[in-house]
Chains A and B, each alone.
Chain A
Amino acid sequence: MHRIFLILAVATSLAPKGLCQSGPTITLAGEPYVYKEWESFTEESTHGGLINDHIFFLEADGDSLWIGTEGGLVLYENGKWKSWTEEDGLPWKVVMGLAKDPRTGELWLALFGEGIARFSGGHFEHFTQMNSGLLNDVVYGVDIQGDNVWVATTAGISRYNQVTGEWAVFNEKHAPMEEVWTYNVDAAEDRVYFAVWGGGILEWDVKTQVWTDYVDPDGEMEIDLYRDDGLVHVITTSASYIDNVLWAGTYFGLSRYDRRNWRGYMDIDSGLPSNFINLAVGRNGTSCYSCTDKGLGVLVDFETDTWVTYKQDTEDAETWTAHVMVGNQEIKTMSTNLDLPNHFTICVEFMGDDVWIGTGHGLARGIGNGYYDGLRGKGSSAGSFKGPTNPK
């Protein structure tokens, strides 16, 4: 699989830049909201409050934010920082994923190399492949559905029932998994989705208890041969399910699936700053935030293919720039005060109108004063949609 990834990387870099750029002039159908005001936090700027700058996961908890870092667990609450390391009982410092159980109020932690932990009432309880039925200690993600804790591990999927105590295992023997390396999990009331590295997306139907797998119809082709025929690639890194829409992040672009039609996005034909997506999170059924190695790509409005991309335009840029785009056409740029030194974006989380991003060097909060979904003035004099942005 790694071989395929290399070939694909070369192939995409050689693809003609303007391959899909023909078509009429594009104008905005409406004004997207742009986060221009940001608060940035690093270990240095917070005087150690943020104990590590490698931010792996964010989980909003009301007005508070749980932060999983390479150096421990952090809570940002009422403007104050609180952290837990192994000295405080945290079983392992590398926190790759977090999930707040809405029913019990407990926080579940995915610990890279050390299983999972339940943080409850200030106390950590540790579950590993040695002391429990957890399939593997290399855990990438965790999420909650009903009584079940779903765990994405390098060896497959584990499910822990908090009431019965049963650990179920899903790997190549128990689920349609061509690969078992599971990168990410997103649980909703009716479905649970998994991003399987090399295995596409797995869907668990809660009611029927049946698995469905979604893979790239092009197989392991290095390019997306037929547009919108399915998942853009099987090397998936994230799944996000909201408003009956699945958003799937891959190392080769973003996919959207509304349970009827697929839609694929790549950097050459969309506002994605890069195809290398660490995490894609849907804000709703028409908007998705993609954390890439080259900044944050926000599909603001699915219908009009309107994007706002936040990134450092140059390596030495002191602040990030917001690029308002329709498809891959840049309409305008707007400066922001986001000054994190690294735009390798790893995670994103929403808190009311605000948005939080975690990067390879720090954490930032986009202040959503006056935030609105979609496009303002869409369909009015604010602009009109002139033509298709993704000619086929």
Chain B
Amino acid sequence: MLFGQQAKDRVYVGERVCRQCHHLSGNRNQFNPWRLSKHALAYATLSKPEAKEIAELSGIDVDPHESPICLGCHTTAYNVEAWERDDSFHAEDGVQCELCHGPGSEYTDADIMRDPEKARQAGLLKPEERDCMVCHKEKGSHIAVLDVRKFDYKEALKEITHPGLDGPLYPVTQPPAGPLTGPEYVGVLACDECHGEASAGRIYGKWRTSKHAQAYAILSTERAREIRSEMGISGNPQKSDRCLECHTTIAGESAGRFTESFDPAQGVQCESCHVPKSESGAEAAVPDSVTTAEAGIHDVEKEICIRCHIKGIHGHTFDFETMWPMIDHTKWGEEYTRLEYKTPFNLAVTKNGRRLFVACEASGSLIVVNPKTEEIITEVEIGTQPHFVYLSPDETRAYVSNRGSDDVSIIDTETYQVLSTITVGDEPHEMATNEEGTILYVANAGTYDVSVVDLVKGAEIKRLAASRGPWGVARSPDGQFIYVSNNLPRFGEFRTPAMSEVTVIETERSIIKHRYTVPAANLLQGIDIAPNGEFALVTLIRTKNLVPMTRNLQGWIITNGIGILWKDGRIDQLLLDELSDFFADPTDIVFSKNGRYAFVSGGGVQEIAMIDIKKMKQILENAPEIQREEVLPNHLGISMEYILTRIPVGQSPRGMAVSPDNRYLYVADALDDAISVIDIKKRKRIKVIDLGGPKEITQARYGERIFHSAQYTFERQFSCHSCHPDGHIDGLVYDIEPDGLGINPVDNRTLRGINDTAPFKWKGTNPTLKRQCGPRLAAFFTRIDPFIPEQSAALDRYIITITRPPNRYRTGNELTPAQRRGKRIFERMYDNSGNLIPLTNRCNHCHAPPYYTNREVFDVGTNSWLDTHSGFDVPHLNNIYASPPYLHDGRAQSLDEIWTVYNPDDTHGLTNDLTKDQLNDLIEYLKTL
């Protein structure tokens, strides 16, 4: 028996089982108050249009009903495997008994429930304030959309109070089953199987939030008893045929006309108005009114309503025309829609120069445009977040990497049909084929590897380990090698300069040939190889993360440059910055066809730097060794000598392509939804091709532009994006505040889906993102005037919409055996010796779902000699696998090290009793969160 405490696996049984004893008047009337509470509606409210907006502001880009984050607080047992839910359990019942009291299979027996100690041992939990606060703590996303009042625990407790001690126990009486004498009533949950779907308009949700759904439970209220008396009815209204006639669906029907799925306590259900489901089976599709009628389901007319809504009954008037729209479940009212921009990231041009293929991340599409006529030839829906497009050598196929859905779409370049989709690693970025076009190499930024795809077989055949965050891909002119840039630095010793890598693949065998180290550099993104094969150029930045950020007044926080990788493996670095005008966020780099120039897109400065290759080489060749190694990589003035000009373009320039005739440079202006066309000879932008995105600039789009712009930092050194590429991490530890050299180092954290994980900062002192990114930003980062309120609000709005990718370690709710074992460790109460683990030393005490943080500050004993405090914000664990290093100062390079190295005294959870295989299991589970 694992950990000694759990003899049997506990299963969620659902409120229906609890109700058997807790649906009685007096002290056992727990069902009715719950049914009338917001808890019971929690799942249904996810159908509301507002839920979508809240989801967007939480970085959730799936339907709220499918989001583990939303479901975590809006239903029960969302994060368990299917076998852990009994048939009697229904997620549609929202926040039910067992969310607070634990899975009930082992304590529902009346004998056990009578003995509090036995019940506790069987898993009955008594929730405390901290348990409630896991969900009820203020959430920025909800505040922004809903008129929510601050949660007052004591007041809220009064609302849901449902004392359950003493009182008689009677089994609830269900209508007895009997022979079928006509159409059967199946109940609303059977209808929900189809009509709860988004495609069916979420009808179930609409009904559940209506008074019809509460019609039965409301009979338990004091007001109902008053009405009962007024009507001269005696006894419990919920047992009165007269009351039930209009407050449930079953009244007056014979006992044999109910299936087991029917639940009278659901109130006035679908079949009250639409007549019972026919034996012909309403589960069959009901595509039109004729079929509907044939199936025995008819449209609702006024006459049906007024059977119960009798004029003046209970003091109410009933106007059908007024009331009908209130229960009209054909639509939810105005749907929340998000303005869809294009956001072109990368592009490719055909050999005849007549077509540009543009991968657009926000619209999930591939746009084909004629660069001469500016005509959009077509727009093809591709996948989620298309990032890069690459044309096959014969140009019959376009390959598009979809970083949101982890695959590559293959498109016929004549018909523009998506022919197939090939699954690759996480977050695929750039790609290239071998010369023959038979093998495709895909840089997977999320899994730190390169997919080798056999295009003949149409499948990935192997993965090659890159360094960290492989991003750019380029093939050498002789076809022998594929060069891959890596966005994140290698793991290194604590508080040492970033060391990044260019990974070189030999195409003949598709094996790793070289791993070139680029010292003191990170964010290696764009990469291209000189037409003569002499060297490769890669964009990079040099982040001085180990000195306080205050140093940016000396122009020395982030410098921006290029790496020159010679054929013999030698690496030089040159800066693109000028002394007082930096070139923030170099993103892509391409050579002119003749190799005389190279162009670098400056994502943060809205410019393209034009490099004179001959002068660049002269600088390097004429410099003494020590100057090449130590001076030039940091020389802010050297750019004046080899950069011919900077050409202004649009917002957030990203990928580029040179026309085959070497006359034009095409630039994807990501946040303008446009392509800039630069005349290379004239060295200026001559036109802008509009890709057809919305012209309205929303607050979030405005914020996105701010996020990607360096104009707000001193001398345009960097943007938010410089440290948070793709809204994520740069893998570095920073010395931010001017509290002494090296004091309080902090690991850079992701921005994906963080809105509702407040507080912010590792110290947990910033309650909102607005505060995190407002005045504080200027004080510590930008060192110029802070954002004006409008800018601050826009930036905040954008950041909270940055989405968290789906978890790649979990398929549905099924866990692997190792993950399942790990879950038990995560939730364990007893150690390997059977000793009770103190509450604060259990994993899920601080890391409570759905964000797996209780959003508190806690001391886990990880403060070091460099820290001035010991309490740190409890980090959320969603997609935790994607953001190493770990701990507040990034000293743990892997999840393992958190416990193998940095938890010697069991202050960060009791873990030292775990065997190595148990720790592995725990980590496998953590990856699924």
Which residues of A are interface residues toward B (Cβ below 8 A)? 103-106, 118, 120-123, 125, 129-133, 135-136, 147, 155, 162-163, 165-169, 171, 173-174
Residues in B neighbouring A106, C-beta threshold 8 A: 465, 511-512
Residue pair B514, A168 in contact (C-beta under 8 Å): no
Contact with A129, one of B464, B511, B900 (Cβ below 8 angstroms): B900
Q: Of A121, A132, A166, A173, which is in contact with the most chain B CB atoms at under 10 Å from its CB?
A: A121
Residue pair A120, B515 in contact (C-beta under 8 Å): yes
Contact with A105, one of B501, B503, B511, B881 (Cβ below 8 angstroms): B511
Interchain residue pairs with CB less than 8 A apart (11): A105-B509, A120-B515, A129-B900, A132-B894, A133-B919, A135-B917, A166-B924, A169-B916, A169-B917, A171-B917, A174-B917
Residues in A neighbouring B515, C-beta threshold 8 A: 120-123
Contact with B894, one of A103, A122, A131 (Cβ below 8 angstroms): A131
Q: Which residue of A lies closest to B509 (CB)?
A: A105
Q: In whole angstroms, how far apart are the Cα atoms of A163 and B919 in the complex?
A: 20
Q: Which residue of B lies closest to A106 (CB)?
A: B512
4 closest Cβ pairs, A-B complex = A105-B511, A121-B515, A169-B917, A123-B515
Contact with A104, one of B511, B916, B920, B923 (Cβ below 8 angstroms): B511
Q: In whole angstroms, how far apart are the Cα atoms of A167 and B819 in the complex?
A: 12
Residues in A neighbouring B425, C-beta threshold 8 A: 163
Q: Which residue of A lies closest to B809 (CB)?
A: A164
Q: A121-B515, A122-B514, A122-B515 are in contact. Are A104 and B917 (CB under 8 A)?
A: no
Residues in B neighbouring A132, C-beta threshold 8 A: 894, 896
Q: Of A105, A133, A173, which is in contact with the most chain B CB atoms at under 10 Å from its CB?
A: A133
Q: In whole angstroms, how far apart are the Cα atoms of A219 and B379 in the complex?
A: 72
The yes or no answer to B513 lying at the interface (CB within 8 A) is yes
Q: Count of B residues near A, CB < 8 Å?
A: 32
Q: In whole angstroms, how far apart are the Cα atoms of A125 and B503 in the complex?
A: 14
Residues in B neighbouring A121, C-beta threshold 8 A: 503-504, 512-515
Residues in A neighbouring B894, C-beta threshold 8 A: 131-132
Q: In whole angstroms, how far apart are the Cα atoms of A155 and B920 in the complex?
A: 14
Residue pair A173, B917 in contact (C-beta under 8 Å): yes
13 more A-B residue pairs beyond the given contacts A105-B506, A120-B512, A121-B504, with a C-beta to C-beta distance below 8 A: A103-B462, A105-B513, A129-B900, A130-B901, A132-B896, A133-B916, A133-B919, A135-B917, A147-B462, A147-B463, A155-B916, A163-B425, A169-B916
The yes or no answer to B897 lying at the interface (CB within 8 A) is yes
Residue pair B512, A105 in contact (C-beta under 8 Å): yes
Residues in B neighbouring A168, C-beta threshold 8 A: 818, 920
The yes or no answer to B863 lying at the interface (CB within 8 A) is no
Residue pair A169, B462 in contact (C-beta under 8 Å): no
The yes or no answer to B772 lying at the interface (CB within 8 A) is no
Contact with B893, one of A131, A162, A165 (Cβ below 8 angstroms): A131
Q: A106-B465, A122-B515 are in contact. Are A167 and B897 (CB under 8 A)?
A: no
Q: Which residue of B lies closest to A133 (CB)?
A: B920
Q: Of B511, B896, B901, B916, which is in contact with the most chain A CB atoms at under 10 Å from its CB?
A: B916
Residues in A neighbouring B881, C-beta threshold 8 A: 165
Residues in A neighbouring B503, C-beta threshold 8 A: 121
Per the 8 Å Cβ criterion, residues 435-480 of B in contact with A are 447, 449, 462-465
Within the complex, what minimum Cβ distance (angstroms) separates B439 from chain A? 13
Contact with A166, one of B447, B464, B514, B818 (Cβ below 8 angstroms): B818
Q: A103-B462, A104-B464 are in contact. Are A136 and B900 (CB under 8 A)?
A: no
Q: A118-B465, A120-B515, A166-B818 are in contact. Are A130 and B896 (CB under 8 A)?
A: yes
Residue pair B897, A135 in contact (C-beta under 8 Å): no
Which residues of B are interface residues toward A (Cβ below 8 A)? 425, 447, 449, 462-465, 501, 503-504, 506, 509, 511-515, 517, 818, 881, 893-894, 896-897, 900-901, 916-917, 919-920, 923-924
Residues in B neighbouring A169, C-beta threshold 8 A: 916-917, 920
Residues in A neighbouring B465, C-beta threshold 8 A: 104, 106, 118, 120, 125, 162
Q: Which residue of B lies closest to A146 (CB)?
A: B462
Q: Of B447, B511, B514, B897, which is in contact with the most chain A CB atoms at under 10 Å from its CB?
A: B511
Q: Which residue of A lies closest to B464 (CB)?
A: A104
Within the complex, what minimum Cβ distance (angstroms) separates B510 from chain A? 8
Residues in A neighbouring B501, C-beta threshold 8 A: 123
Residue pair B896, A133 in contact (C-beta under 8 Å): yes
Residues in B neighbouring A133, C-beta threshold 8 A: 896, 916, 919-920, 923
Q: Which residue of B lies closest to A153 (CB)?
A: B916
Q: Which residue of A lies closest to B808 (CB)?
A: A164
Q: In whole angstroms, how far apart are the Cα atoms of A133 and B517 in the complex?
A: 26
Residues in B neighbouring A136, C-beta threshold 8 A: 916
Q: In whole angstroms, how far apart are the Cα atoms of A131 and B919 in the complex?
A: 12
Q: In whole angstroms, how far apart are the Cα atoms of A387 and B734 in the complex?
A: 79
Q: A106-B465, A122-B515 are in contact. Are A131 and B924 (CB under 8 A)?
A: no
Within the complex, what minimum Cβ distance (angstroms) separates A229 from chain B? 34
Q: In whole angstroms, how far apart are the Cα atoms of A168 and B918 in the complex?
A: 10
Within the complex, what minimum Cβ distance (angstroms) separates B256 from chain A? 51
Q: In whole angstroms, how far apart are the Cα atoms of A123 and B916 in the complex?
A: 27
Q: In whole angstroms, how far apart are the Cα atoms of A103 and B894 in the complex?
A: 26
Q: In whole angstroms, how far apart are the Cα atoms of A104 and B464 in the complex?
A: 6
Residues in A neighbouring B514, C-beta threshold 8 A: 121-122
Residue pair B916, A131 in contact (C-beta under 8 Å): no
Q: In whole angstroms, how far apart are the Cα atoms of A174 and B918 in the complex?
A: 12
Residue pair B463, A131 in contact (C-beta under 8 Å): no
Q: In whole angstroms, how far apart are the Cα atoms of A123 and B924 in the complex?
A: 27
Q: In whole angstroms, how far apart are the Cα atoms of A129 and B899 in the complex?
A: 11
Within the complex, what minimum Cβ distance (angstroms) separates A259 from chain B? 29
Q: A132-B896, A174-B917 are in contact. Are A104 and B924 (CB under 8 A)?
A: no
Residues in B neighbouring A129, C-beta threshold 8 A: 900, 916
Q: In whole angstroms, how far apart are the Cα atoms of A131 and B892 in the complex?
A: 8
Q: Which residue of B lies closest to A171 (CB)?
A: B917
Q: In whole angstroms, how far apart are the Cα atoms of A14 and B602 in the complex?
A: 83
Residues in A neighbouring B920, C-beta threshold 8 A: 133, 167-169
Residue pair B896, A104 in contact (C-beta under 8 Å): no
Within the complex, what minimum Cβ distance (angstroms) separates B31 from chain A? 44
Q: Which residue of A lies closest to B894 (CB)?
A: A131
Within the complex, what minimum Cβ distance (angstroms) separates A171 from chain B? 7
Residues in B neighbouring A173, C-beta threshold 8 A: 917
Q: In whole angstroms, how far apart are the Cα atoms of A121 and B897 in the complex?
A: 26
Q: In whole angstroms, how far apart are the Cα atoms of A136 and B920 in the complex?
A: 12
Residues in B neighbouring A165, C-beta threshold 8 A: 447, 881
Within the complex, what minimum Cβ distance (angstroms) separates B527 from chain A? 16
Residues in B neighbouring A135, C-beta threshold 8 A: 916-917
Residues in A neighbouring B509, C-beta threshold 8 A: 105
Q: In whole angstroms, how far apart are the Cα atoms of A194 and B506 in the complex?
A: 33
Q: In whole angstroms, how far apart are the Cα atoms of A213 and B886 in the complex?
A: 40
Within the complex, what minimum Cβ distance (angstroms) separates B904 from chain A? 12
Q: A129-B900, A169-B920 are in contact. Are A104 and B504 (CB under 8 A)?
A: no
Contact with A131, one of B506, B511, B897 (Cβ below 8 angstroms): B897
Within the complex, what minimum Cβ distance (angstroms) separates B507 from chain A? 12
Q: Of A131, A162, A173, which is in contact with the most chain B CB atoms at under 10 Å from its CB?
A: A131
Within the complex, what minimum Cβ distance (angstroms) separates B548 from chain A? 29
Within the complex, what minimum Cβ distance (angstroms) separates A26 from chain B? 48
Residues in A neighbouring B919, C-beta threshold 8 A: 133
Residue pair A162, B463 in contact (C-beta under 8 Å): yes
Q: In whole angstroms, how far apart are the Cα atoms of A122 and B501 in the complex?
A: 12
Residues in B neighbouring A104, C-beta threshold 8 A: 462-465, 511-512
Within the complex, what minimum Cβ distance (angstroms) separates A152 from chain B? 15
Q: Which residue of A lies closest to B881 (CB)?
A: A165
Within the complex, what minimum Cβ distance (angstroms) separates A76 from chain B? 20
Q: In whole angstroms, how far apart are the Cα atoms of A187 and B720 in the complex?
A: 48
Q: Which residue of A lies closest to B897 (CB)?
A: A131
Within the complex, what minimum Cβ distance (angstroms) separates A66 from chain B? 15
Within the complex, what minimum Cβ distance (angstroms) separates B328 from chain A? 49
Q: In whole angstroms, how far apart are the Cα atoms of A136 and B900 in the complex?
A: 12
Q: Which residue of A lies closest to B513 (CB)?
A: A121
Residue pair A163, B916 in contact (C-beta under 8 Å): no
Residues in A neighbouring B901, C-beta threshold 8 A: 130-131
Within the complex, what minimum Cβ distance (angstroms) separates A149 from chain B? 11
Residues in B neighbouring A174, C-beta threshold 8 A: 917
Within the complex, what minimum Cβ distance (angstroms) separates B493 from chain A? 12
Residues in B neighbouring A131, C-beta threshold 8 A: 893-894, 896-897, 900-901
